[in-house]
Structure 1
Amino acid sequence: MKNYLTLLLITLLFIGCSTKQEEIPKKTITKQSIEKEKTAFDYLNGFYDDDLNLALEVFKKACEKSSKKELFKDVCNNSYNSTNGKSFFTNNFTPKVLVSNTGDKGLITGYYEPLLKGSRIKTDIYKYPVYKTPKDLITIKNKKKYPHFKQFRYKAKIKNGRYVPYDTRAEIEEDNDFDIICYVDDFIDLFFLQVQGSGRVLLDSNELINIGYANQNGRKYSSIGKKLIDDGHLEKEEVSLQTIRAFLKQNEDKIDEVLNYNQSYVFFVEKEQTATGSLNVPLVAKRNIAVDRKYIPLGMPVFLETTNPKTQEPINKLVIAADTGGAIKGEIRADYFFGYGKDARELAGLMKEEGRLFMLIPNDVVID
């Protein structure tokens, strides 16, 4: 999850905030979302034109975490001595197209790693704090005793000797005494950093630091994109990162109202490595996706067929499922990681394309 990274741009439109799902048990995969018939690799558009050696390297990196699961243990062991991506994937996996009750196509969105400008010291320019996890934020362990905290993801604080839901975004912004990583120069960019779940900050000392998701206040994500639609400020068809950002910049008197509509608040930690997803391995631009792990286990190779939102050219890539996100729900649903920087932000902001997903299932796995 954008353990959120990712979080994720469609969260601006509908829902957000990652939630943990149950792991797929051992060497079985549910068949409810998989076409029964095998799919030949020749059926995957552009599969043999892809850089399968690079895909193999990304898979090996994912195996540092996923090989602990019985599902991937053998195939990960096979990967370590492999150097030819084409032969490795075709000899060890069987492609199967994901399907839903509406067919074999679903929504593919995009996310990216933001770059912000900041300082370790608060100034007139750098005045918006990037908070660490508050010391009074508690994750309730005894879930059976406090079932009503499920709606708050079991996040709480103690007030007058009792658990109470943790503060909303507005309450956090209004009054707190949290530890701070740094200060940034743009309040809106800070909000989008929370949506993405990780990013980089270029400090005024020229130091570039990596920050990642640490925790969340437990409040439900409410889409500011949907609010702008409901309030008549934007049409549904035109909503994107770019149009939301432009509206907020042009209507600064509405910034607090719009952003506080989303009560969810993300806290960060400074990290040595760049963006990592829920699998806790560094994300690779255009080689990783966020998925609903109820249907696709993390670490699974997935062949993605979709379209570039800017050029309308095909995107046919073998990617690795390495992240999750609250807006990423359903069988045929993925968030494509575009990488870092301005170009990545533009493409991720525009990405709302139709696509197909083919899981490459290890040959020794039983489809139950």
Structure 2
Amino acid sequence: MRARLVAAMLAVMTWTAPAPAEILRFSDLDGWAADDHRAALKSFRETCDLLDDADWVPLCKLAADAGDTAEGARQFFELFFRPVVIGVPPALFTGYFEPELEGSPVRTPRFAWPIYRRPPELQDGQVFHSRAEIENGALRGRGLELAWLDDPVDVYFLQVQGSGRIRMPDGRVVRVGYAGRNGHGYRSVGQELVRRGTHSMEQVSAQEIAAYVRNGAGADLLNINPSYVFFRVIDNIPAAKGPIGAMGRSITPFRSVAIDPAFTPLGAPVWIEKAGADPIRQLMVAQDTGGAIKGPQRADIFYGTGKAAGDAAGTVKDDGRMVVLLPIDRAYAMLPDGL
């Protein structure tokens, strides 16, 4: 996690927007006035002290004094930020969540599929064993097993989500979080199904992939994605708080998004206009990243913890528009001729 946090903070400090940008007015944001800006401000405060760039430091201090009224929160964002569209919509919005799974600290006939600690020899950026090699026993017998689950599909999707809660047979709940990956690029199983002609893009969802694997495709299908995630135990955050994001702080359901830090600065407020069956018009904060989250108009919305959150997040694949709120000077500096 430390290496992931360092990389994330370097992205914050060195960020520039390598894409077309357009500055909007707040009145251009669909549904802006109706949002709960207090909830967004609370999420922003969660990580703003980590932003040490000169444009951001005074805003974090002002955020602490903005008050907790709806009007005060809205005025804070309107006074000190400008909405900027980076890249060209439509956006692509997906959802993610924190799974709650049954597991065991030791292997049993039921719990036979491990999740692993990060191997001590694995260096950041190193290309290590692939998913297929690990699933076929490359790490077996080394004592790196962190826990055992009862379904290889659950192991896979726990890695996709990057964190989760595991309920042990004695009732104890262990939270696990991202500790590193094997250095292989992420390859989409859903896109592979489309390529094979078994599914259309509209049919692909997390639920459909899981069902397809369990109903005969076999776990080998998952090995077309060579990327593999290692975990660590998270024991220093309250149960009521969300999992740890890329900035090293807890993330908040429907107020935190994973973004591509090459285009959207970590810690920045992000206005989401998601279309689809369950449209969203909310101000969130860019507090996480993900291997499949690439591009300026791309965001993964955190839906929360547990099965209901997973059911909702797993079907999200909607277009819309993503608008980043930037400090005023930084926003205008992005225009071709500056101010």
TM-score band w.r.t. shorter chain: 0.7 to 0.9
Q: In the alignment, is residue 275 of structure 1 matched against residue 243 of structure 2?
A: yes
**Secondary structure class of the residue paired with 1:215:** strand
Contact kept, 8 Å, 1:209 with 1:271, in 2: the verdict is yes
Which residue of 258, 276, 279 maps to 2:221?
Answer: 258
Q: Structure 2, unaligned stretches of length 5 or more?
A: 335-339
Q: Structure 1, unaligned stretches of length 5 or more?
A: 6-18, 140-153, 156-164
Runs of 4+ in 1 over 3 A off after TM superposition: 19-22, 28-32
User: Equivalent residue for 2:337?
Assistant: none
- Letter aligned with residue 81 of structure 2: F
Q: In the alignment, is residue 95 of structure 1 matched against residue 83 of structure 2?
A: yes
Measure how far apart 1:242 and its partner are.
1.1
Which residue of 212, 215, 236 maps to 2:180?
Answer: 215
User: Equivalent residue for 2:154?
Assistant: 189
Which residue of 178, 198, 204 maps to 1:233?
Answer: 198
Q: 1:207 to 1:64 in 2, by over 3 A?
A: farther
Which residue of 124, 130, 133 maps to 2:118?
Answer: 133
Query: What is the CA RMSD across the aligned residues, in angstroms?
Result: 2.3
Q: 1:256 to 1:135 in 2, by over 3 A?
A: same
Partners of 2:228 and 2:117 in 1: how far apart? 11
Which residue of 64, 69, 83 maps to 1:80?
Answer: 64
**Secondary structure class of the residue paired with 1:246:** helix
Measure how far apart 1:29 and its partner are.
4.8
User: Equivalent residue for 2:295?
Assistant: 330
Cα-to-partner distance string for 1:59-118 (whole Å, 9 max, x where unaligned): 10111322x233311111111111121121111111122332xxx322111111111111
User: Equivalent residue for 1:162?
Assistant: none
Measure how far apart 1:220 and its partner are.
2.1
- Letter aligned with residue 40 of structure 1: R
Contact kept, 8 Å, 1:289 with 1:319, in 2: the verdict is yes
Contact kept, 8 Å, 2:102 with 2:150, in 1: the verdict is yes
Q: In the alignment, is residue 115 of structure 1 matched against residue 103 of structure 2?
A: no
Q: Write the mapping of 1:135-154 to structure 2, written as runs, cut at 5 A.
A: 135-139=120-124, 154=125
Give the paired residue count.
319
Query: How does the TM-score come out when normalised to structure 2?
Result: 0.87
Contact kept, 8 Å, 1:99 with 1:105, in 2: the verdict is no
Measure how far apart 1:237 and its partner are.
2.1
Contact kept, 8 Å, 1:301 with 1:318, in 2: the verdict is yes
**Secondary structure class of the residue paired with 2:76:** helix
Measure how far apart 1:313 and its partner are.
4.1
Identity, % of aligned pairs? Answer: 35
- Letter aligned with residue 53 of structure 1: R
Contact kept, 8 Å, 2:17 with 2:86, in 1: the verdict is no
Q: Write the mapping of 1:310-349 to structure 2, written as runs, cut at 5 A.
A: 312-349=277-314
Partners of 1:264 and 1:214 in 2: how far apart? 13
